[in-house]
Structure 1
Amino acid sequence: MFQYIIKRLIQMIPLVIGITFISFLIIQMAPGSYLDQLKMNPQISKETLKELERAYGLDQPLLVQYFKWLINALKFDLGYSFSYHVPVLELIKERIGNTLFLSITSGLLAWILAVPLGIWAALNPNRWIDKFIQLFSFTFMSIPNFFLAFLMLFVAVKTGIFPTGGATSPDYDQMSLWGKILDRLWHVSLPAFVLGIGSLAGLVRLVRSAMIEAMQSEYVMFARAKGLPERDVIFKHALRNALNPFITLLGFEIASLLSGAALVEIIVNWPGMGMLMLDAVLSQDLYLVMGGLYIGAIMLIIGNLIADILLAKVDPRVRQREIEGVLK
């Protein structure tokens, strides 16, 4: 397994290079630049603009700019932000924790509810509870996250049930440890509900269909023929095999949560990477955009690696194929 992890980490390198190079090209192809905005200011001289171009390396050829950035990025030196005038890594450190907290909270909410609801529906096919769960799934799968975020924001403003901005209360520093935990959970509840409910709707349908297929399989029939208790048949045989595809989907779920979190963060004013990246794109802050994409790509690749490791732990067949692949 250790050799497999090392192999996957090595495979990450060309993938990260490909993602960042394409992103760099797309950003550079956009008309104008951050310095073009400064040219509109009559108080800034041409000599100052040229000095800024040299300082940020923008006077060099495109490939030279990219490879200089890449070499520094591999050492996690992501350059300086044009608009904030501070290291990009410091800005990302301030926001990445909130985005991860939101993504993890919404992901846990979706998975904790999706598995029991999917099993419940699969064990009662075509009954009222199954039809109700399917109606719930189809309804929230058809509602985009950003529209649901607007609706929940309207409810929060009218009722005061949810906070409408920020990650903590003004008196957060004076709270006890338990109070801080509850305050963080209260503030993340609105964006986590929006992200989690959308992911939950799709996962419930997948768990239901996988469980129905597993319950009709030969190994379940054989387990029942041996006289095993129905609880063991469901949870030790059917569920374990039905969940294998969902562990594979874990990496994609991380990707969808991170990408969906950006738009939801902007709508509900959650201080994460979403608002930071929007400001960077609007101001054409090259190094801040590239730094955010670089960290995001690493997070997504690590998420897929975690999913592969969990799948190998759960399914011995996958583990055997990995061992054979390493030996070859």
Structure 2
Amino acid sequence: MIPFLVRRFFQAIPTLFLASVLIFFVISLAPGDFLTPARLNPGISEEQLRNLSISFGLDKPAYVQYFYWMWNMLHGDFGTSFQYTQPVLPVIWPRIVNSVWLVLLNLVFFYAIAIPIGVYGAVRQNSFGDKSINVVLYFLLGFPSFFLFLIVIYFILQIRNATGWDIPLGGMTSNNYDQLSSLAKFWDVLRHLLIPAAVLALTDAAGLTRVIRGLMLEVMRSDYIRTARAKGVSERTAIWKHTFRNAILPIVAGIGGLLPGAISGAGFVEVVYNYPGITPMLLTAINAQDLYLIAGFTVISTILLIVGNALSDILLAVVDPRIKVG
């Protein structure tokens, strides 16, 4: 295990370096910079623009900016956000935490939906229930998730108007959040998370359900499953211990993407539900060409992807004894 981790650490160094170079220079190649709107403002003089350019470090060539940024990043400083005029980490960290809570609850719903339905579809292949589920899954796979979010909002608004129920549809907390007790604060945040997390899980689970069903059907046709049944192994054991355990290996291999995915936010669901996650902040930063905020966040995501891939390899070795880590 130790040699494996050491080897992965040294492999990560050139990967992270190349990723940081690509990230920084791709952002730098975009036309204009953070001060472009200011240059179009006739009320700002050339001297003021020059002073702003010097203070933001935009007067230096891109490669000089990169080496300064890389040197500071090695010391834990990911640069200063142009928009917020604050260090990047304190700016993005609260938004990352908000996105992590949403994504974690989404994962709970995601696997709670995908695994049982996928296994049911494989065990009851071509039954009425399996065919009905497939129709719904194909609809979810083909229907744009953005419109599904809007449809859910519409129906919830109708329910709210008809029943008077207080169903949160935006933000992360209520207006009276600061006056609530600790337990009430937890419940208030959870209420705001439920709808976006459930809708996101519903759209994401459609694809995984189909994958689990296909993998289960493939494994169930294997000789060792037929042999296990012939030896008198119970159907429950044959399905969950032998079939499902081997069918999830490709899924375990993809767990490495969960760590960067957790901090990358829930995409447009955060925008549609006005959730204070990382996605709206990144979209604003891209529009404003906030170089260091975008680059800092992307480097953090790259680090987590490397760590996540190492963890997925370790989990594969735990699930499948044929795989050795070392």
Shift in alpha-carbon separation, 1:15–1:31, aligned structure 2, 3 A = same
Distance 1:303 1:147 in 2: 31
Alignment of 1:113-132 (within 5 A): 113-132=113-132
Distance 1:56 1:307 in 2: 40
Aligned to 2:169, which of 151, 154, 164?
Answer: 164
Q: Unpaired segments of 5 or more residues in structure 1?
A: 324-328
Check the 8 A contact 1:107/1:257 in 2, yes or no: no
Q: Unpaired segments of 5 or more residues in structure 2?
A: 161-165
Check the 8 A contact 1:220/1:238 in 2, yes or no: yes
The residue type equivalent to 2:139 in the other structure is T
Q: Could you say what secondary structure the match of 1:97 adopts?
A: helix
Matching of residue 214 in structure 1 with residue 215 in structure 2: no
The residue type equivalent to 1:196 in the other structure is A
Alignment of 1:166-315 (within 5 A): 166-252=171-257, 261-315=266-320
Equivalent in the alignment of 1:147? 147
Distance 1:309 1:162 in 2: 42
Distance 1:118 1:130 in 2: 9
Shift in alpha-carbon separation, 1:316–1:130, aligned structure 2, 3 A = same
Equivalent in the alignment of 2:52? 52
> How much has 1:203 moved relative to structure 2?
0.8
Distance 2:292 2:207 in 1: 36
Shift in alpha-carbon separation, 1:149–1:14, aligned structure 2, 3 A = farther
Distance 1:93 1:294 in 2: 14
Check the 8 A contact 1:244/1:314 in 2, yes or no: yes
- Structure 1 runs (4+) deviating above 6 angstroms are none
Distance 1:3 1:96 in 2: 32
Check the 8 A contact 1:146/1:263 in 2, yes or no: yes
Equivalent in the alignment of 2:80? 80
Shift in alpha-carbon separation, 1:102–1:2, aligned structure 2, 3 A = farther
> How much has 1:17 moved relative to structure 2?
2.5
Distance 1:10 1:163 in 2: 47
Distance 1:3 1:309 in 2: 13
Q: Could you say what secondary structure the match of 1:249 adopts?
A: helix
Equivalent in the alignment of 1:20? 20
1:277-298 Cα offsets, whole Å, 9 max, x none, are 1111111211112122222222
Q: Could you say what secondary structure the match of 2:322 adopts?
A: helix
The residue type equivalent to 2:175 in the other structure is P
> How much has 1:123 moved relative to structure 2?
0.8
1:216-272 Cα offsets, whole Å, 9 max, x none, are 111111211222222211111111111111111223466667667132211211101
The residue type equivalent to 1:136 in the other structure is V
CA RMSD, aligned part only? 2.1
Distance 2:202 2:262 in 1: 11
Whichever structure has more helix as a proportion of its residues is: 1
1:288-328 Cα offsets, whole Å, 9 max, x none, are 1212222222233333333222112111122x2x33xxxxx
TM-score (norm 2): 0.90
> How much has 1:48 moved relative to structure 2?
2.9
